[in-house]
Structure 1
Protein backbone atom coordinates (compact mmCIF):
# COMPACT_ATOMS: atom_id res chain seq x y z
CA UNK A 1 0.00 0.00 0.00
CA UNK A 2 1.34 3.44 -0.93
CA UNK A 3 2.10 6.05 1.71
CA UNK A 4 -0.59 8.36 0.31
CA UNK A 5 -3.28 5.67 0.41
CA UNK A 6 -2.26 4.64 3.91
CA UNK A 7 -2.44 8.27 5.06
CA UNK A 8 -5.91 8.64 3.56
CA UNK A 9 -7.09 5.52 5.38
CA UNK A 10 -5.66 6.79 8.67
CA UNK A 11 -7.46 10.14 8.35
CA UNK A 12 -10.71 8.54 7.20
CA UNK A 13 -10.66 6.03 10.05
CA UNK A 14 -9.88 8.81 12.54
CA UNK A 15 -12.81 10.90 11.25
CA UNK A 16 -15.21 7.97 11.65
CA UNK A 17 -13.94 7.32 15.19
CA UNK A 18 -14.31 11.00 16.07
CA UNK A 19 -17.89 10.91 14.82
CA UNK A 20 -18.59 7.85 16.95
CA UNK A 21 -17.12 9.52 20.05
CA UNK A 22 -19.84 12.20 19.96
CA UNK A 23 -22.49 9.48 19.82
CA UNK A 24 -20.70 7.76 22.69
CA UNK A 25 -20.82 10.96 24.77
CA UNK A 26 -24.55 11.30 24.12
CA UNK A 27 -25.11 7.70 25.22
CA UNK A 28 -23.16 8.29 28.45
CA UNK A 29 -25.13 11.42 29.32
CA UNK A 30 -28.47 9.76 28.58
CA UNK A 31 -27.75 6.53 30.45
CA UNK A 32 -25.77 7.77 33.46
CA UNK A 33 -27.42 11.21 33.87
CA UNK A 34 -23.99 12.82 34.21
CA UNK A 35 -23.92 16.51 33.30
CA UNK A 36 -22.06 17.75 30.23
CA UNK A 37 -19.78 19.78 32.52
CA UNK A 38 -18.78 16.77 34.62
CA UNK A 39 -18.23 14.59 31.55
CA UNK A 40 -16.09 17.33 30.00
CA UNK A 41 -13.97 17.46 33.16
CA UNK A 42 -13.42 13.68 33.20
CA UNK A 43 -12.74 13.49 29.47
CA UNK A 44 -10.17 16.28 29.63
CA UNK A 45 -8.40 14.86 32.69
CA UNK A 46 -8.06 11.30 31.39
CA UNK A 47 -7.39 12.26 27.76
CA UNK A 48 -4.75 14.77 28.82
CA UNK A 49 -2.96 12.17 30.94
CA UNK A 50 -3.01 9.62 28.11
CA UNK A 51 -1.70 12.09 25.51
CA UNK A 52 1.10 13.22 27.85
CA UNK A 53 2.06 9.61 28.50
CA UNK A 54 2.16 8.94 24.75
CA UNK A 55 4.22 12.09 24.27
CA UNK A 56 6.71 11.05 26.98
CA UNK A 57 7.01 7.56 25.47
CA UNK A 58 7.61 9.24 22.09
CA UNK A 59 10.61 11.03 23.62
CA UNK A 60 9.15 14.54 23.88
CA UNK A 61 10.30 16.89 26.64
CA UNK A 62 6.84 17.37 28.08
CA UNK A 63 7.84 19.89 30.79
CA UNK A 64 9.85 22.18 28.49
CA UNK A 65 6.93 24.57 27.93
CA UNK A 66 6.92 25.55 31.64
CA UNK A 67 10.43 26.99 31.46
CA UNK A 68 9.27 30.14 29.67
CA UNK A 69 6.76 32.50 31.28
CA UNK A 70 5.26 33.79 28.03
CA UNK A 71 4.72 30.27 26.73
CA UNK A 72 3.02 29.29 30.01
CA UNK A 73 0.62 32.25 29.59
CA UNK A 74 -0.08 31.21 25.98
CA UNK A 75 -0.70 27.64 27.11
CA UNK A 76 -3.18 28.80 29.76
CA UNK A 77 -5.01 30.98 27.21
CA UNK A 78 -5.17 28.03 24.81
CA UNK A 79 -6.37 25.79 27.63
CA UNK A 80 -9.17 28.09 28.75
CA UNK A 81 -10.48 29.33 25.40
CA UNK A 82 -9.39 26.35 23.30
CA UNK A 83 -9.32 22.85 24.80
CA UNK A 84 -11.75 23.48 27.68
CA UNK A 85 -14.20 25.65 25.75
CA UNK A 86 -14.32 23.51 22.59
CA UNK A 87 -15.00 20.33 24.57
CA UNK A 88 -17.51 21.93 26.94
CA UNK A 89 -19.54 23.71 24.24
CA UNK A 90 -19.55 20.56 22.10
CA UNK A 91 -20.95 18.41 24.91
CA UNK A 92 -23.44 21.14 25.89
CA UNK A 93 -24.71 21.14 22.30
CA UNK A 94 -25.11 17.35 22.45
CA UNK A 95 -26.97 17.70 25.75
CA UNK A 96 -29.33 20.29 24.22
CA UNK A 97 -29.81 18.42 20.91
CA UNK A 98 -27.85 15.36 19.75
CA UNK A 99 -24.37 14.27 18.69
CA UNK A 100 -25.01 14.62 14.96
CA UNK A 101 -26.28 18.21 15.19
CA UNK A 102 -23.40 19.18 17.51
CA UNK A 103 -20.79 17.72 15.13
CA UNK A 104 -22.30 19.37 12.06
CA UNK A 105 -22.51 22.82 13.68
CA UNK A 106 -18.90 22.52 14.85
CA UNK A 107 -17.90 21.99 11.22
CA UNK A 108 -18.68 25.67 10.62
CA UNK A 109 -15.24 26.40 12.13
CA UNK A 110 -13.28 26.29 8.81
CA UNK A 111 -15.60 28.94 7.37
CA UNK A 112 -15.15 31.09 10.50
CA UNK A 113 -11.37 30.78 10.17
CA UNK A 114 -11.19 31.87 6.51
CA UNK A 115 -13.68 34.69 7.07
CA UNK A 116 -11.67 35.94 10.07
CA UNK A 117 -8.36 35.91 8.21
CA UNK A 118 -9.95 37.63 5.23
CA UNK A 119 -11.20 40.42 7.50
CA UNK A 120 -7.90 40.73 9.38
CA UNK A 121 -5.76 40.87 6.24
CA UNK A 122 -8.34 43.05 4.45
CA UNK A 123 -7.72 40.90 1.43
CA UNK A 124 -10.39 39.87 -1.04
CA UNK A 125 -11.02 36.15 -0.83
CA UNK A 126 -11.24 33.85 -3.84
CA UNK A 127 -14.45 32.57 -5.38
CA UNK A 128 -14.15 29.20 -3.64
CA UNK A 129 -14.02 30.88 -0.23
CA UNK A 130 -17.08 33.02 -0.99
CA UNK A 131 -18.89 29.90 -2.18
CA UNK A 132 -17.86 28.10 1.02
CA UNK A 133 -19.24 30.89 3.22
CA UNK A 134 -22.50 30.87 1.24
CA UNK A 135 -22.97 27.10 1.42
CA UNK A 136 -22.17 26.97 5.13
CA UNK A 137 -24.72 29.71 5.89
CA UNK A 138 -27.37 28.02 3.75
CA UNK A 139 -26.60 24.67 5.37
CA UNK A 140 -26.96 26.16 8.85
CA UNK A 141 -30.24 27.80 7.83
CA UNK A 142 -31.67 24.46 6.65
CA UNK A 143 -30.40 22.63 9.72
CA UNK A 144 -31.90 25.18 12.11
CA UNK A 145 -35.18 26.05 10.37
CA UNK A 146 -35.84 23.13 7.97
CA UNK A 147 -36.34 25.78 5.29
CA UNK A 148 -39.04 27.72 7.16
CA UNK A 149 -37.64 31.05 8.44
CA UNK A 150 -40.59 31.45 10.82
CA UNK A 151 -39.73 28.34 12.84
CA UNK A 152 -36.65 26.90 14.55
CA UNK A 153 -36.28 23.11 14.54
CA UNK A 154 -33.64 22.96 17.29
CA UNK A 155 -33.63 24.67 20.67
CA UNK A 156 -32.10 28.12 21.06
CA UNK A 157 -29.67 26.61 23.58
CA UNK A 158 -28.46 24.02 21.07
CA UNK A 159 -28.00 26.70 18.41
CA UNK A 160 -26.11 29.01 20.79
CA UNK A 161 -23.75 26.33 22.08
CA UNK A 162 -23.30 24.86 18.61
CA UNK A 163 -22.20 28.20 17.15
CA UNK A 164 -20.02 28.79 20.22
CA UNK A 165 -18.47 25.37 19.63
CA UNK A 166 -17.61 26.33 16.05
CA UNK A 167 -15.90 29.56 17.19
CA UNK A 168 -14.05 27.66 19.92
CA UNK A 169 -12.92 25.06 17.38
CA UNK A 170 -11.67 27.84 15.11
CA UNK A 171 -9.63 29.29 17.99
CA UNK A 172 -8.43 25.81 18.99
CA UNK A 173 -7.19 25.21 15.44
CA UNK A 174 -5.38 28.48 14.85
CA UNK A 175 -4.07 29.81 18.19
CA UNK A 176 -1.46 27.22 19.31
CA UNK A 177 0.61 27.12 16.09
CA UNK A 178 3.64 28.81 17.69
CA UNK A 179 3.52 26.59 20.79
CA UNK A 180 3.16 23.46 18.68
CA UNK A 181 6.06 24.49 16.45
CA UNK A 182 8.29 24.86 19.54
CA UNK A 183 7.20 21.91 21.67
CA UNK A 184 5.23 19.51 19.46
CA UNK A 185 1.55 18.72 19.16
CA UNK A 186 1.13 15.99 21.76
CA UNK A 187 2.69 17.90 24.70
CA UNK A 188 0.68 21.08 24.03
CA UNK A 189 -2.65 19.34 23.43
CA UNK A 190 -2.01 16.95 26.32
CA UNK A 191 -1.25 19.74 28.80
CA UNK A 192 -4.18 21.87 27.57
CA UNK A 193 -6.59 19.00 28.16
CA UNK A 194 -5.18 18.06 31.56
CA UNK A 195 -5.13 21.68 32.76
CA UNK A 196 -8.64 22.22 31.38
CA UNK A 197 -9.89 19.30 33.45
CA UNK A 198 -8.12 20.68 36.52
CA UNK A 199 -9.80 24.07 35.97
CA UNK A 200 -13.24 22.43 35.97
CA UNK A 201 -12.54 20.12 38.93
CA UNK A 202 -13.29 22.62 41.78
CA UNK A 203 -16.76 23.22 40.31
CA UNK A 204 -17.86 19.76 39.14
CA UNK A 205 -15.73 17.09 40.88
CA UNK A 206 -18.36 16.69 43.63
CA UNK A 207 -20.99 15.74 41.01
CA UNK A 208 -19.10 12.73 39.66
CA UNK A 209 -20.15 10.38 42.45
CA UNK A 210 -23.86 10.99 41.82
CA UNK A 211 -24.16 9.61 38.28
CA UNK A 212 -25.45 6.11 37.52
CA UNK A 213 -22.65 3.78 36.39
CA UNK A 214 -23.14 0.50 34.54
CA UNK A 215 -21.06 -1.85 32.43
CA UNK A 216 -22.25 -0.10 29.28
CA UNK A 217 -21.47 3.42 30.44
CA UNK A 218 -18.03 2.42 31.80
CA UNK A 219 -17.14 0.80 28.46
CA UNK A 220 -18.50 3.86 26.62
CA UNK A 221 -16.35 6.18 28.75
CA UNK A 222 -13.27 4.03 28.05
CA UNK A 223 -14.08 4.23 24.34
CA UNK A 224 -14.64 8.00 24.51
CA UNK A 225 -11.31 8.70 26.23
CA UNK A 226 -8.95 6.07 24.79
CA UNK A 227 -10.33 5.34 21.32
CA UNK A 228 -12.21 8.58 20.63
CA UNK A 229 -9.37 10.84 21.80
CA UNK A 230 -5.90 9.32 22.15
CA UNK A 231 -5.92 6.70 19.37
CA UNK A 232 -7.98 8.85 17.01
CA UNK A 233 -5.77 11.90 17.54
CA UNK A 234 -2.62 9.90 16.81
CA UNK A 235 -4.14 8.35 13.67
CA UNK A 236 -5.25 11.72 12.31
CA UNK A 237 -1.88 13.40 12.93
CA UNK A 238 0.00 10.55 11.27
CA UNK A 239 -2.33 10.51 8.27
CA UNK A 240 -2.36 14.30 7.87
CA UNK A 241 1.43 14.36 7.78
CA UNK A 242 1.36 11.77 4.98
CA UNK A 243 -1.22 13.44 2.72
CA UNK A 244 -1.22 17.14 3.75
CA UNK A 245 -3.75 19.42 5.45
CA UNK A 246 -6.15 20.14 2.54
CA UNK A 247 -6.74 16.47 1.73
CA UNK A 248 -7.06 15.65 5.42
CA UNK A 249 -9.71 18.37 5.82
CA UNK A 250 -11.77 16.92 2.97
CA UNK A 251 -11.59 13.37 4.34
CA UNK A 252 -12.47 14.60 7.84
CA UNK A 253 -15.96 15.32 6.47
CA UNK A 254 -16.63 11.65 7.23
CA UNK A 255 -16.88 12.70 10.91
CA UNK A 256 -20.34 14.37 10.87
CA UNK A 257 -21.64 11.82 8.38
CA UNK A 258 -20.60 8.93 10.63
CA UNK A 259 -22.07 10.75 13.62
CA UNK A 260 -25.39 11.21 11.82
CA UNK A 261 -25.55 7.59 10.65
CA UNK A 262 -24.57 6.16 14.05
CA UNK A 263 -27.09 8.46 15.80
CA UNK A 264 -29.74 7.11 13.42
CA UNK A 265 -28.76 3.45 13.95
CA UNK A 266 -27.84 3.39 17.65
CA UNK A 267 -29.75 6.23 19.31
CA UNK A 268 -32.88 6.44 17.16
CA UNK A 269 -32.25 10.07 16.15
CA UNK A 270 -34.20 10.90 12.99
CA UNK A 271 -32.85 13.15 10.25
CA UNK A 272 -35.26 14.80 7.82
CA UNK A 273 -34.45 15.79 4.23
CA UNK A 274 -33.62 19.43 5.19
CA UNK A 275 -31.26 18.07 7.88
CA UNK A 276 -29.38 15.97 5.33
CA UNK A 277 -29.29 18.82 2.80
CA UNK A 278 -27.99 21.22 5.45
CA UNK A 279 -25.35 18.70 6.49
CA UNK A 280 -24.14 18.23 2.91
CA UNK A 281 -23.99 22.00 2.33
CA UNK A 282 -21.90 22.56 5.46
CA UNK A 283 -19.58 19.71 4.48
CA UNK A 284 -19.28 21.08 0.96
CA UNK A 285 -18.00 24.37 2.45
CA UNK A 286 -15.13 22.44 4.08
CA UNK A 287 -14.32 20.80 0.73
CA UNK A 288 -14.36 24.19 -1.06
CA UNK A 289 -12.02 25.73 1.53
CA UNK A 290 -9.68 22.75 1.26
CA UNK A 291 -9.64 23.03 -2.53
CA UNK A 292 -8.87 26.74 -2.24
CA UNK A 293 -5.96 26.00 0.11
CA UNK A 294 -4.70 23.28 -2.19
CA UNK A 295 -4.82 25.62 -5.16
CA UNK A 296 -2.75 28.22 -3.27
CA UNK A 297 -0.18 25.56 -2.37
CA UNK A 298 0.20 24.54 -6.02
CA UNK A 299 0.43 28.16 -7.11
CA UNK A 300 3.22 29.00 -4.66
Structure 2
Protein backbone atom coordinates (compact mmCIF):
# COMPACT_ATOMS: atom_id res chain seq x y z
CA UNK A 1 0.00 0.00 0.00
CA UNK A 2 1.43 3.38 -1.04
CA UNK A 3 1.94 6.19 1.43
CA UNK A 4 -1.02 8.19 0.07
CA UNK A 5 -3.42 5.25 0.32
CA UNK A 6 -2.07 4.39 3.75
CA UNK A 7 -2.54 7.98 4.93
CA UNK A 8 -6.09 8.04 3.61
CA UNK A 9 -6.78 4.76 5.38
CA UNK A 10 -5.43 6.13 8.68
CA UNK A 11 -7.58 9.27 8.51
CA UNK A 12 -10.70 7.35 7.48
CA UNK A 13 -10.31 4.86 10.33
CA UNK A 14 -9.69 7.74 12.77
CA UNK A 15 -12.86 9.53 11.60
CA UNK A 16 -14.96 6.37 11.98
CA UNK A 17 -13.53 5.69 15.44
CA UNK A 18 -14.14 9.30 16.47
CA UNK A 19 -17.76 8.85 15.46
CA UNK A 20 -17.92 5.70 17.57
CA UNK A 21 -16.52 7.51 20.62
CA UNK A 22 -19.62 9.72 20.85
CA UNK A 23 -21.83 6.62 20.69
CA UNK A 24 -19.67 5.05 23.40
CA UNK A 25 -20.06 8.15 25.60
CA UNK A 26 -23.84 8.02 25.18
CA UNK A 27 -23.86 4.35 26.15
CA UNK A 28 -21.81 5.09 29.29
CA UNK A 29 -24.05 7.97 30.40
CA UNK A 30 -27.28 6.05 29.76
CA UNK A 31 -26.23 2.81 31.45
CA UNK A 32 -24.21 4.19 34.37
CA UNK A 33 -26.18 7.42 35.05
CA UNK A 34 -22.89 9.32 35.06
CA UNK A 35 -23.44 13.05 34.44
CA UNK A 36 -21.77 14.61 31.40
CA UNK A 37 -19.53 17.02 33.41
CA UNK A 38 -18.10 14.16 35.52
CA UNK A 39 -17.46 12.00 32.45
CA UNK A 40 -15.85 15.02 30.76
CA UNK A 41 -13.51 15.49 33.72
CA UNK A 42 -12.42 11.84 33.85
CA UNK A 43 -12.07 11.56 30.07
CA UNK A 44 -9.92 14.70 29.91
CA UNK A 45 -7.67 13.59 32.76
CA UNK A 46 -7.26 10.06 31.41
CA UNK A 47 -6.96 11.04 27.75
CA UNK A 48 -4.52 13.84 28.54
CA UNK A 49 -2.34 11.54 30.62
CA UNK A 50 -2.26 8.93 27.84
CA UNK A 51 -1.32 11.51 25.20
CA UNK A 52 1.43 12.97 27.41
CA UNK A 53 2.87 9.51 27.99
CA UNK A 54 2.79 8.83 24.25
CA UNK A 55 4.41 12.20 23.63
CA UNK A 56 7.18 11.48 26.16
CA UNK A 57 8.04 8.13 24.59
CA UNK A 58 7.86 9.79 21.17
CA UNK A 59 10.79 11.94 22.30
CA UNK A 60 8.97 15.24 22.80
CA UNK A 61 10.12 17.63 25.52
CA UNK A 62 6.78 17.80 27.27
CA UNK A 63 7.89 20.28 29.97
CA UNK A 64 9.51 22.78 27.61
CA UNK A 65 6.45 25.02 27.49
CA UNK A 66 6.57 25.87 31.21
CA UNK A 67 9.83 27.76 30.60
CA UNK A 68 7.95 30.42 28.61
CA UNK A 69 5.47 32.43 30.69
CA UNK A 70 3.48 33.80 27.73
CA UNK A 71 3.12 30.38 26.13
CA UNK A 72 2.11 28.87 29.47
CA UNK A 73 -0.67 31.45 29.79
CA UNK A 74 -1.76 30.70 26.21
CA UNK A 75 -1.86 27.00 27.06
CA UNK A 76 -4.02 27.67 30.12
CA UNK A 77 -6.39 29.78 28.01
CA UNK A 78 -6.59 27.02 25.41
CA UNK A 79 -7.13 24.39 28.11
CA UNK A 80 -10.11 26.29 29.53
CA UNK A 81 -11.78 27.71 26.41
CA UNK A 82 -10.60 25.00 24.02
CA UNK A 83 -10.20 21.51 25.46
CA UNK A 84 -12.57 21.88 28.43
CA UNK A 85 -15.40 23.70 26.66
CA UNK A 86 -15.30 21.61 23.48
CA UNK A 87 -15.46 18.32 25.40
CA UNK A 88 -18.04 19.52 27.93
CA UNK A 89 -20.42 21.04 25.37
CA UNK A 90 -20.16 17.93 23.18
CA UNK A 91 -20.94 15.48 25.99
CA UNK A 92 -23.74 17.65 27.37
CA UNK A 93 -25.28 17.80 23.87
CA UNK A 94 -25.16 13.99 23.78
CA UNK A 95 -26.78 13.90 27.21
CA UNK A 96 -29.56 16.26 26.07
CA UNK A 97 -30.12 14.57 22.66
CA UNK A 98 -27.96 11.76 21.25
CA UNK A 99 -24.48 11.09 19.89
CA UNK A 100 -25.45 11.43 16.22
CA UNK A 101 -27.12 14.84 16.65
CA UNK A 102 -24.25 16.11 18.81
CA UNK A 103 -21.63 15.01 16.28
CA UNK A 104 -23.44 16.54 13.31
CA UNK A 105 -24.03 19.86 15.11
CA UNK A 106 -20.36 20.04 16.12
CA UNK A 107 -19.48 19.49 12.46
CA UNK A 108 -20.77 23.03 11.78
CA UNK A 109 -17.41 24.31 13.06
CA UNK A 110 -15.68 24.51 9.61
CA UNK A 111 -18.50 26.75 8.36
CA UNK A 112 -18.13 28.94 11.45
CA UNK A 113 -14.37 29.18 10.86
CA UNK A 114 -14.60 30.26 7.20
CA UNK A 115 -17.41 32.72 8.00
CA UNK A 116 -15.36 34.27 10.81
CA UNK A 117 -12.25 34.66 8.65
CA UNK A 118 -14.29 36.16 5.82
CA UNK A 119 -15.77 38.74 8.22
CA UNK A 120 -12.46 39.45 9.95
CA UNK A 121 -10.63 40.00 6.67
CA UNK A 122 -13.59 41.83 5.13
CA UNK A 123 -13.21 39.51 2.16
CA UNK A 124 -16.07 38.45 -0.04
CA UNK A 125 -16.58 34.68 0.36
CA UNK A 126 -16.20 32.55 -2.75
CA UNK A 127 -19.18 30.90 -4.37
CA UNK A 128 -18.20 27.54 -2.85
CA UNK A 129 -17.98 29.01 0.66
CA UNK A 130 -21.31 30.83 0.24
CA UNK A 131 -22.89 27.57 -0.90
CA UNK A 132 -21.32 25.79 2.08
CA UNK A 133 -22.77 28.30 4.54
CA UNK A 134 -26.24 28.04 3.00
CA UNK A 135 -26.05 24.24 2.86
CA UNK A 136 -24.97 23.95 6.50
CA UNK A 137 -27.79 26.26 7.66
CA UNK A 138 -30.43 24.33 5.71
CA UNK A 139 -28.99 21.05 6.98
CA UNK A 140 -29.15 22.28 10.56
CA UNK A 141 -32.77 23.37 10.14
CA UNK A 142 -33.70 19.95 8.76
CA UNK A 143 -31.88 18.20 11.59
CA UNK A 144 -33.49 20.17 14.41
CA UNK A 145 -36.99 20.61 12.96
CA UNK A 146 -37.52 17.49 10.81
CA UNK A 147 -38.78 19.88 8.14
CA UNK A 148 -41.50 21.36 10.37
CA UNK A 149 -40.38 24.95 10.92
CA UNK A 150 -42.95 25.53 13.67
CA UNK A 151 -41.34 23.17 16.21
CA UNK A 152 -38.02 21.66 17.24
CA UNK A 153 -37.34 17.91 17.04
CA UNK A 154 -34.74 18.25 19.81
CA UNK A 155 -34.89 20.26 23.02
CA UNK A 156 -33.87 23.91 23.03
CA UNK A 157 -31.16 22.97 25.54
CA UNK A 158 -29.71 20.39 23.15
CA UNK A 159 -29.69 22.91 20.29
CA UNK A 160 -28.00 25.61 22.38
CA UNK A 161 -25.36 23.19 23.69
CA UNK A 162 -24.84 21.80 20.19
CA UNK A 163 -24.28 25.24 18.65
CA UNK A 164 -21.94 26.10 21.54
CA UNK A 165 -20.08 22.87 20.79
CA UNK A 166 -19.61 23.95 17.15
CA UNK A 167 -18.26 27.38 18.17
CA UNK A 168 -15.92 25.87 20.75
CA UNK A 169 -14.69 23.31 18.18
CA UNK A 170 -13.94 26.21 15.83
CA UNK A 171 -11.80 27.87 18.53
CA UNK A 172 -10.20 24.52 19.39
CA UNK A 173 -9.19 24.01 15.75
CA UNK A 174 -7.69 27.45 15.16
CA UNK A 175 -6.29 28.87 18.41
CA UNK A 176 -3.35 26.57 19.25
CA UNK A 177 -1.56 26.67 15.87
CA UNK A 178 1.38 28.77 17.16
CA UNK A 179 1.80 26.62 20.26
CA UNK A 180 1.70 23.44 18.18
CA UNK A 181 4.30 24.86 15.78
CA UNK A 182 6.66 25.52 18.71
CA UNK A 183 6.13 22.48 20.91
CA UNK A 184 4.42 19.80 18.80
CA UNK A 185 0.85 18.55 18.64
CA UNK A 186 0.91 15.74 21.19
CA UNK A 187 2.37 17.83 24.07
CA UNK A 188 -0.07 20.73 23.52
CA UNK A 189 -3.17 18.57 23.14
CA UNK A 190 -2.08 16.27 25.98
CA UNK A 191 -1.43 19.14 28.38
CA UNK A 192 -4.59 21.01 27.37
CA UNK A 193 -6.75 17.96 28.06
CA UNK A 194 -5.03 17.11 31.34
CA UNK A 195 -5.15 20.71 32.62
CA UNK A 196 -8.79 21.02 31.55
CA UNK A 197 -9.59 17.91 33.58
CA UNK A 198 -7.82 19.40 36.59
CA UNK A 199 -9.89 22.60 36.21
CA UNK A 200 -13.09 20.57 36.53
CA UNK A 201 -11.87 18.54 39.51
CA UNK A 202 -12.76 21.10 42.26
CA UNK A 203 -16.34 21.19 40.98
CA UNK A 204 -17.00 17.55 40.10
CA UNK A 205 -14.23 15.53 41.75
CA UNK A 206 -16.47 14.45 44.64
CA UNK A 207 -19.67 13.95 42.61
CA UNK A 208 -18.95 10.65 40.92
CA UNK A 209 -20.11 8.18 43.54
CA UNK A 210 -23.75 7.67 42.61
CA UNK A 211 -23.54 5.63 39.45
CA UNK A 212 -23.87 2.07 38.23
CA UNK A 213 -20.69 0.26 37.19
CA UNK A 214 -20.02 -3.15 35.66
CA UNK A 215 -17.56 -4.90 33.39
CA UNK A 216 -19.16 -3.67 30.18
CA UNK A 217 -19.05 -0.07 31.36
CA UNK A 218 -15.38 -0.39 32.35
CA UNK A 219 -14.59 -1.74 28.88
CA UNK A 220 -16.63 1.06 27.29
CA UNK A 221 -14.72 3.68 29.26
CA UNK A 222 -11.37 2.12 28.32
CA UNK A 223 -12.49 2.22 24.69
CA UNK A 224 -13.50 5.88 25.03
CA UNK A 225 -10.08 6.86 26.42
CA UNK A 226 -7.67 4.53 24.64
CA UNK A 227 -9.39 4.13 21.24
CA UNK A 228 -11.67 7.19 21.07
CA UNK A 229 -8.90 9.54 22.22
CA UNK A 230 -5.33 8.23 22.01
CA UNK A 231 -5.51 5.84 19.03
CA UNK A 232 -7.79 7.99 16.87
CA UNK A 233 -5.76 11.12 17.48
CA UNK A 234 -2.48 9.36 16.65
CA UNK A 235 -3.94 7.81 13.48
CA UNK A 236 -5.38 11.13 12.31
CA UNK A 237 -2.10 12.99 12.88
CA UNK A 238 -0.09 10.34 11.05
CA UNK A 239 -2.55 10.22 8.16
CA UNK A 240 -2.87 13.99 7.85
CA UNK A 241 0.93 14.31 7.65
CA UNK A 242 0.95 11.80 4.78
CA UNK A 243 -1.91 13.21 2.65
CA UNK A 244 -2.26 16.88 3.69
CA UNK A 245 -4.93 18.83 5.56
CA UNK A 246 -7.41 19.24 2.69
CA UNK A 247 -7.72 15.53 1.96
CA UNK A 248 -7.83 14.78 5.68
CA UNK A 249 -10.71 17.24 6.15
CA UNK A 250 -12.67 15.60 3.35
CA UNK A 251 -12.17 12.09 4.76
CA UNK A 252 -13.08 13.27 8.26
CA UNK A 253 -16.64 13.67 6.96
CA UNK A 254 -16.97 9.97 7.75
CA UNK A 255 -17.21 10.94 11.46
CA UNK A 256 -20.84 12.18 11.60
CA UNK A 257 -21.95 9.47 9.19
CA UNK A 258 -20.39 6.72 11.31
CA UNK A 259 -21.87 8.25 14.46
CA UNK A 260 -25.34 8.32 12.89
CA UNK A 261 -25.11 4.74 11.61
CA UNK A 262 -23.73 3.35 14.88
CA UNK A 263 -26.38 5.26 16.88
CA UNK A 264 -29.10 3.61 14.82
CA UNK A 265 -27.57 0.12 14.90
CA UNK A 266 -26.19 -0.04 18.46
CA UNK A 267 -28.39 2.35 20.43
CA UNK A 268 -31.65 2.12 18.50
CA UNK A 269 -31.80 5.87 17.86
CA UNK A 270 -34.58 6.77 15.42
CA UNK A 271 -32.95 8.71 12.57
CA UNK A 272 -35.62 9.94 10.15
CA UNK A 273 -35.28 10.99 6.51
CA UNK A 274 -34.97 14.73 7.43
CA UNK A 275 -32.21 13.76 9.90
CA UNK A 276 -30.27 11.96 7.18
CA UNK A 277 -30.81 14.78 4.70
CA UNK A 278 -29.68 17.37 7.25
CA UNK A 279 -26.60 15.29 8.10
CA UNK A 280 -25.66 14.88 4.43
CA UNK A 281 -26.10 18.61 3.79
CA UNK A 282 -23.83 19.55 6.69
CA UNK A 283 -21.26 17.00 5.52
CA UNK A 284 -21.56 18.46 2.01
CA UNK A 285 -20.79 21.94 3.38
CA UNK A 286 -17.52 20.64 4.82
CA UNK A 287 -16.67 19.02 1.49
CA UNK A 288 -17.28 22.31 -0.32
CA UNK A 289 -15.04 24.20 2.13
CA UNK A 290 -12.28 21.58 1.84
CA UNK A 291 -12.39 21.58 -1.96
CA UNK A 292 -12.34 25.39 -2.02
CA UNK A 293 -9.29 25.44 0.27
CA UNK A 294 -7.54 22.89 -1.94
CA UNK A 295 -8.17 25.00 -5.05
CA UNK A 296 -6.76 28.09 -3.29
CA UNK A 297 -3.60 26.20 -2.34
CA UNK A 298 -3.16 24.92 -5.90
CA UNK A 299 -3.75 28.40 -7.34
CA UNK A 300 -1.18 29.91 -4.96
CA UNK A 301 1.35 27.28 -6.02
Q: TM-score range by the shorter chain?
A: over 0.9
Partner of 2:7: 7
TM score, norm. by length of structure 1? 0.99
Post-superposition CA distance 1:102-128 (Å, at most 9, x none)? 000000000000000000000111110
CA separation in 2, counterparts of 1:182 and 1:209? Answer: 40
Q: Tell me which residue corresponds to 1:41.
A: 41
Q: Which residue of 1 aligns with 2:149?
A: 149
1:46-85 matched pairs, under 5 angstroms: 46-85=46-85
Structure 1 runs of 4+ with >3 Å offset:
none
User: How many residues of Structure 1 are paired with residues of Structure 2 in the alignment?
Assistant: 300
Q: 1:184 and 1:52 mapped to 2: Cα distance?
A: 11
Unaligned runs of 5+ in 2: none
**CA distance, structure 2, for counterparts of residue 66 and residue 212 of structure 1:** 39
**How far off its partner does 1:271 sit?**
0.5
Distance in 2 (CA, whole Å) between partners of 1:87 and 1:218 is 20
- In the alignment, the residues of structure 2 paired with residue 188 and residue 160 of structure 1 have an alpha-carbon distance, to the nearest angstrom, of 28
Looking at structure 1, the residues matched to 290 and 241 of structure 2 have their Cα atoms a distance apart, in angstroms, of 15
State the distance in 1 between where 2:65 and 2:207 align: 32
Displacement of 1:131 in angstroms is: 0.5
Matches of 1:43 and 1:195 in 2, distance apart? 12
Q: Take 1:226 and 1:152, find their aligned partners in 2: how far apart are those partners?
A: 36
- The separation in 2 between residues aligned to 1:157 and 1:4, in whole angstroms, is 42
Residue in 2 that maps onto 1:234: 234
Alpha-carbon RMSD: 0.5
Matching of residues 1-300 of structure 1 within 5 Å: 1-300=1-300
Cα distance in 1, alignment partners of residues 52 and 42 from structure 2: 15
Deviations 1:209-246 (A, max 9, x none): 22111111100000000000000000000001111111
Which whole-Å CA distance do the structure 2 matches of 1:123 and 1:150 have between them? 35
- What's the CA shift for 1:208? 1.7
CA-CA distance at 1:74 after TM superposition: 0.4
Which shifted more, 30-39 or 209-218? Answer: 209-218
Q: Deviations over 1:34-93 (max 9, x none)?
A: 000000000000000000000000000000111111001100110000000000000000
